[in-house]
Every structure is written in C-alpha cells, then in structure tokens.
Amino acid sequence: MNKKKIINDPVYGFISIATDLVFDLMEHPYFQRLRYIKQTGMAHLVYPGALHTRFHHALGAMHLMQLAVKTLCDKGHYITPHEEEAVMIAILLHDIGHGPFSHALEEHIVKGIDHEDISTLIMDKLNRRFDGKLTTAIQIFNDTYPKRFLHQLVSSQLDMDRLDYLNRDSFYTGVSEGVISSERIIKMLNVVDDAIVVEEKGIYSIEKFLVARRLMYWQVYLHKTVTSGEQMLGKALRRAREMALQGQQLFCTPALEHFLQASITKEEFISDERHLETFTCLDDADIMASVKVWTRHPDKVLSQLCERFIQRRLYHVDITNTPPDAARMEELRQRAVQRYGISYDESWYFVFTDVISNNAYKVDDTNISILRKGGAISDITTASDNANLEALAKTVEKYIFCYTKDLI
C-alpha cells in the first residue's frame, strides 16, 4: 500500500505524510477520534465557521514542523532522519489526549488530570502497539531527549502548535487579527547552545505573533459569548455528575456514563487502563447526544441548562476588572429561586461569578530568545523597542458575572 499521501489543507495547501509510521498513526482510531473534537470549543457560537477540528490542527502543526526541521538542517544543524520522524510524531500526537469540546470540559470529565497527561498515556500505549517505534517521540514530548531544542519546537512559547492554531483559528473564524507570518517566523529560527532562538531580523514577526495571540484570546477564546457557552455546558455536566453520583438514572452514551457515575482520581486513571480506553471513545458527539436528551429530563436545573444551551439562550456575561457586586448577585439568586422553583443552593447554576485570565507571554525558562547580529542573546521583551511587549508579559485577570437573561 502506498502510504506517501498528500492532504489538501485550506490553510497551507498540500501537506505531505512523510513516512509509513506517521501514516499508520494517523489511521489509528485514537487519532481518528480527533476528527470529532472541535478545535475551538464553543467559538462556533459566535463565529459560525469555527467548526474545524483537532485533527485539522494536528496535521497543520506537523506540516509546520517539517518546515522547521528543514530550515534548521539548511542552517547546518544535524537532525537525523529518525529524529525528524520522531519530532513530527511528537507534534502530531501532542493533542491526542484532548477530551470533548477541548478545554471547555477538561475539569468536568476527569478531575485533576490535564490533556498533556492523557496524551502521554496514549502515546505510551501506542508505543507498545507499534513495538517501541515511538520511544524517541515520547522522549522529545516529555523533554527527556538530549537534543532539547526539539522539545521546544513541540512545546514552548514559540512552538509549532501555537504557530498553527493562531493562523488556523483566524482562518476559520474570520478574525484577521490572528493572522501571523508563520513561515517567516520558521525561516528565522536557529539553534544556539541547544536552544531555539529567533534571528534578529525576525523580531517584528515575533512582535506581531505575541500581539495576535493576545487579541485572539480576547476576541475568540475568551469572547464573552464563547465563555458563556463553555460555562453553561460545564454547569450542565456538573449537574449531571451530581445526579449520577446520587444514584439517579440518566441517559448517557457508554463512554460518558463511565465518567459521570464515578469520581475517578488521577492515580486511578493512570493505574487502571480501562479508564484510558474508555476515554479514547469519548468525543463531542457523546456530549451533544446526552445534552439533547437531557433537555426533557424532569430535573428542572438539568433540563433548563441543556435546553438553553441547545437553543443558544446562554448566560448574560459581564466582564469587569473588579469583583461583581455581592448584593446584586444575591438579588438575582433570590429571583432564580422564585422564577425557576429551585432551591437556593441550586440557584448557583444560574447566577455565579468566576475569573478568566489572558497571558500572551510569560518570561521564564521557555522564553522567546532573540539572536543579535553580534551573537548576543536577549529576551524578546528587552530586544524589542515595542514598549507594549512588557505589558503582554503580565497576566491580565478579569471577573465574569454570569446569569440567565430572564432574571433581569
């Protein structure tokens, strides 16, 4: 069978599948599951075109990795064919541990374990299936491989993951502020002392990249309606879990039922492979099928949340720099009790507050280093003459006040 396929991608054009092993991994059910998990969670509630998937993103990131490896090799850095294949596999599988609706439900399916942990578990399992051929890829992914710059291409503040999702999410949402010059950035990459650096002439492309990331967070990922949809679906799942743990019968797909009816710890998830195997059967369709049925459930809280979600009658969200007024929150909770015929404790599902944060750049050991013409290396925030970059290095936290619109 000819496994040297090409894929027509709307963002980059033709993407080539470089090796038989990469093809076989893409064909595996664990990877095919990513076709059914949306890349941007709830962004389609605001931007109808944002229906692209984790599958799209993984292929795009792999394509950029091919370009990055070629660039570094052209500049005299030795990367063996085996290492090239391994780093492509590492980026291809970097999101394989994502659950339904990506980050939106991460804490509502298995508490205390994030998608990076699950990705590692799945990669370990695939490594056994493929007779140890993923060992180097896993070492690169976990940053235990001697050439540490390869890990930076997979996971850092300037990795192929971010370069792809900004352009891809911008393309599908139509938000032009997210467009970055990913190919130019890649052409400016170099390696000094086993670390990725950006040549000085690429500094303005990096400035644009950081600003674009900040704007995409506020305009897309943390848009108040996107946030509202994520909060409402999260609350519906939390209510369903609360009921399931009390022994109440709920319609669920088998994979979702497994996680709703038990509080599985991180340790249990890691030690018992049944949990991982069930997780790899879980995607957006499991959630949506269950939520649609729950709109007719006799529980007032669950049915209200699910019906509102399906019909896009979401929470009103106020985003502020200061905590919301406690008296106003109390007033709305009392109204919810009266209007919906629920208890005061249950009113929390309809009136609540939370915090969101935006951190475009973090000055730490994974910073973006600029290689000066004289050979000196400095952080982007000091190398740039753009004073706004220092502001981007600060985490911005805002308060959200969510409540159902018919309470006002």
User: What residues does each domain of the chain span?
Assistant: 6-222+365-385, 224-357+401-407
> What are the φ and ψ backbone dihedral angles of 190, each rounded to 5 degrees?
-150, 175
Residues 6+ apart with CB under 8 A from 385: none
Q: Where are the alpha helices (DSSP H) in 133-202?
A: 135-141, 148-154, 160-173, 182-187
Question: Of 264, 255, 2, 219, which Cα lies nearest the Cα of 110?
Answer: 264
Q: From 3.40.50.11540, 3.30.420.40, 2.60.40.1120, 1.20.1250.30, which CATH number describes the 224-357+401-407 domain? A: 1.20.1250.30
Mean pLDDT of the region 391-398 = 81
For 366, the token pair is: 């994974």
For the cut 70, the answer to whether the pLDDT of residue 104 exceeds it is no
Mean pLDDT, the chain, as a whole number?
93
The pLDDT, as a whole number, for residue 387 is 62
Q: Residue 334 pLDDT > 90, yes or no?
A: yes
pLDDT of residue 6: 92
Average pLDDT over residues 218-245: 95
**Side chain identity at 65, as an amino acid letter?**
M
Other C-beta atoms closer than 10 Å to the C-beta of 143 total: 13
Is residue 370 within 8 Å of residue 203, measured between CB atoms?
Answer: yes
Confidence band for 360, pLDDT divided at 50, 70 and 90: confident
Contact indicator for 24, 3 with CB cutoff of 8 Å: yes
Look at strands 369-371 and 195-199 and give their pairing.
parallel
Q: How far are the Cα atoms of 5, 165, 335 from residue 160, in angstroms, in the given order?
A: 21, 9, 49
Per-residue pLDDT tens over the stretch 378-394: 988 888 777 677 777 77
Q: Of the CATH numbers 3.30.2130.10, 3.30.70.20, 1.10.3210.10, 1.10.490.10, which one belongs to the domain with range 6-222+365-385?
A: 1.10.3210.10
Hey, what are 21's tokens? Answer: 């092993």
Pairing state between β 351-358 and 315-320: unpaired
Output DSSP code: residue 220.
I
Q: CA triplet 105, 52, 8: central angle to 5 degrees? A: 145
Q: Token pair of 361, please?
A: 């750049």
